[in-house]
Amino acid sequence: MDQRHLRENRRHGNPQFPLATYLQEQGINETILDNHWHDEAEFLWMLSGQAVFQIGLATFELQAGEGIFIPCGEVHGGYALSETACTFKAIVFHMDWLTEARDGIATRFLQPLQRGDAVIPSVYRNDTSWGKLVLRRLAEIHRLHDTTDSAKELRIKAELYSLFADLIGDGQWTRRDPANSVDTQTMDRLKSVVTYIENHCSQPLTVPLLAAVAGMSVGHFSRVFKSFMRKTPMDYVNHYRIQQAAYLLQNTKISVAEAALEVGLSNFSYFSKKFRTTYDCTPSQFRKKFRSL
């Protein structure tokens, strides 16, 4: 994921096969996933350790051997538990790949899921028959993805269809409660704020300004933003600025002071302190470390 943007703009797979799998290994106290979103759906499968994942406002604690589903467009993130390392696999795929046939099955079940009008369970464990089936199919998709089987794309697509069929057949596909549309509307407003931050990070940004972009009162905006993003608005702004500065230090030849000014942090002492807190080194050490790789 491009850490400069909350919305992930990375392509997963290719237009002919819009699916990719990833193995992620996170050390102790490392953030698993900064909050972000993408148009694709995603299944995460924990291999070791413990972690908490947030999808929208909901949080889920996962142990090794358990999985989670992240719907299209949902803001999500995660962090490790108990100061232990953890490992997980991810399957990211575009639902268009499954709905392109536009047949009755796609129209009735998969398109509503893609739009967010229908839901399936978020967490998958071995204590239910349908949870076991989903975990088994996720393992098979990962196995197939790493093979040289000339028909693996077809087999993987069949596994995904079967996975959703297992859930539908077991009554685990349901229409979304209309009351949840309020959260969706709120999330859309927050996404517009984050986009504004990304496009104007070099300019002065204040909570009242961001609240106005969201169309909310300052107090309500601050509470909602922290609930969804796990940071206050200004903590998020400054965290984003530091990430942007790190990108500039990695990919340009501008000085450290210029990088700080470029991202809207004119107080160099504050910039250096926040940078060290985020990356456990000074900006100059960060650049030197990157250039030595």
Q: Is residue 7 part of a domain?
A: no
Do 43 and 154 reside in the same domain of the chain? yes
Q: What are phi and psi of 111, to 5 degrees?
A: -65, -45
Instruction: State whether 136 and 78 are in the same domain.
Output: yes
Of 176, 207, 227, which one is at a domain's C-terminal end? 176
Taking residues 151-166, report their average pLDDT: 97
CATH number at residue 171: 2.60.120.280
Residues 199 and 269 in one domain: yes
Task: From 139, 156, 176, give the residue that closes a domain.
Answer: 176
Q: Are residues 46 and 91 in the same domain?
A: yes
> Distance between CA atoms of 265 and 203, rounded to whole angstroms?
9
101: exposed, middle or buried (C-beta count within 10 Å: 0-12, 13-18, 19+)? Answer: exposed
CATH number at residue 237: 1.10.10.60
Report the pLDDT averaged over residues 82-86.
Answer: 76
Examine the domain organization and report whether 42 and 140 are in the same domain.
yes
pLDDT in tens, 167-205: 999 999 999 876 665 577 888 898 899 889 989 999 999
Residues 6+ apart with CB under 8 A from 43: 67, 68, 69, 70, 90, 91, 134, 138
Same domain, 31 and 168: yes
The mean pLDDT value of the chain amounts to 88
Q: Which amino acid is at 49?
A: G
Task: Please indicate, yes or no, if residue 10 is contained in any of the structural domains.
Answer: no
